């Protein structure tokens, strides 16, 4: 085996960041840790491996790789041994042990960790968005949202926004109140991005009465009166007609059921764009 001069060629069928970080972490334990690292991403066949190993031979370098493909790992190992190059298979041994202890076959999909990581951060971003633009706090969110939910108070706007956020959808919600003019931003976006929520007067009456009792306010407030409720629903219906947006009935529906309908509408509209 030749003596490595401190140069390391790292190969991967994805970006190769994992291999590079491992090599840097190890190199830092030796003197200044100034290893010359040449990263070779998206290698998906034996020809790509051969080209990198030829370079490594010229540089008298070490080879490190993070292939999820067993075939590429085996080929790299065999070729490095043949060329008497020092090498490290970073993922292989760990994957083999995981397979043994779980009895589950790996997906063998390059870059899957990065995809999961990106999905996580998109979900967090959508949750933060839903909180920031909940209940019409800032109408600027209407312009940035993937979907905007409209409805009178207690039509499940907030829980639906959070449910959509967990699906990585940025949802803003706006309460419709007769005494407050709707935000002008509602008329500046595609009405297909707006979804109105409506509910039967009797169920809304029941929900609002329970809400008032929970707050210790009694159930005789105008907030829960049938006259007020009918006025609000009529006002909301006119706004939704004016916007020409789709409307969903939420009466006697669980959040998950309404969210399923919302997702169907969003998928359909995205497909028509």
Is 18 annotated as belonging to a binding site?
no
The per-residue b/e assignment along 161-186, b for 16 or more CB within 10 angstroms, e otherwise, is: bbbbbeebbbbbbbbbeeeeebbebb
Is 152 annotated as belonging to a binding site?
yes
Question: Can you read off the two tokens belonging to residue 101?
Answer: 């202890």
**How far separated are the first and last CA of the chain, in Å rounded?**
60
Is 155 annotated as belonging to a binding site?
yes
Find the length of the chain: 273
Contact at 8 Å (CB) between 204 and 228?
A: no
Tokens 């970080």 correspond to 21
Is 66 annotated as belonging to a binding site?
no
Exposed/middle/buried for 209, CB within 10 Å: 0-12, 13-18, 19+? middle
Provide the CA 37 distance to its chain's centre, in angstroms.
32
**DSSP character string of 103-117:** -------TTHHHHHH
- Going by the annotation, the residues of the binding site are 151-158
- Going by the annotation, the residues of the binding site for ADP are 151-158
């Amino acid at each position: 085996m030749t003596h490595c001069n401190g140069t390391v060629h790292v190969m991967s069928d994805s970006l190769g960041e994992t291999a590079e970080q491992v090599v840097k972490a190890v190199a830092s334990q030796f003197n200044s840790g100034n290893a010359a690292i040449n990263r070779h991403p998206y290698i998906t066949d034996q020809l790509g491996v051969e080209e990198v190993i030829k370079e490594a031979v010229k540089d008298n370098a070490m080879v490190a790789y993070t292939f999820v493909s067993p075939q590429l790992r085996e080929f790299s190992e065999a070729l490095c041994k043949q060329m008497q190059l020092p090498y490290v298979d970073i993922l292989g041994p760990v994957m083999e042990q995981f397979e043994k202890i779980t009895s589950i076959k790996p997906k063998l999909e390059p870059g899957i960790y990065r995809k999961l990581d990106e999905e996580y951060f998109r979900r967090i971003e959508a949750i933060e968005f839903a909180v920031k633009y909940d209940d019409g706090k800032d109408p600027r969110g209407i312009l940035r949202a993937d979907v905007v939910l409209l409805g009178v108070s207690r039509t499940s706007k907030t829980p639906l926004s959070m449910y959509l956020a967990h699906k990585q959808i940025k949802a803003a919600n706006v309460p419709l109140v007769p005494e407050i003019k709707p935000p002008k931003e509602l008329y500046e976006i595609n009405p297909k991005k707006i979804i109105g929520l409506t509910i039967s007067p009797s169920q809304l009456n029941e929900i609002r009465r329970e809400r008032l009792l929970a707050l210790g306010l009694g159930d005789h407030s105008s907030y829960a009166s049938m006259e007020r409720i009918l006025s609000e629903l009529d006002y909301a219906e006119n706004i939704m007609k004016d916007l020409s947006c789709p409307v969903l009935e939420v009466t006697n529906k669980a959040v998950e059921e309404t969210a399923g309908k919302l997702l169907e509408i969003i998928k359909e509209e995205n497909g028509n764009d």
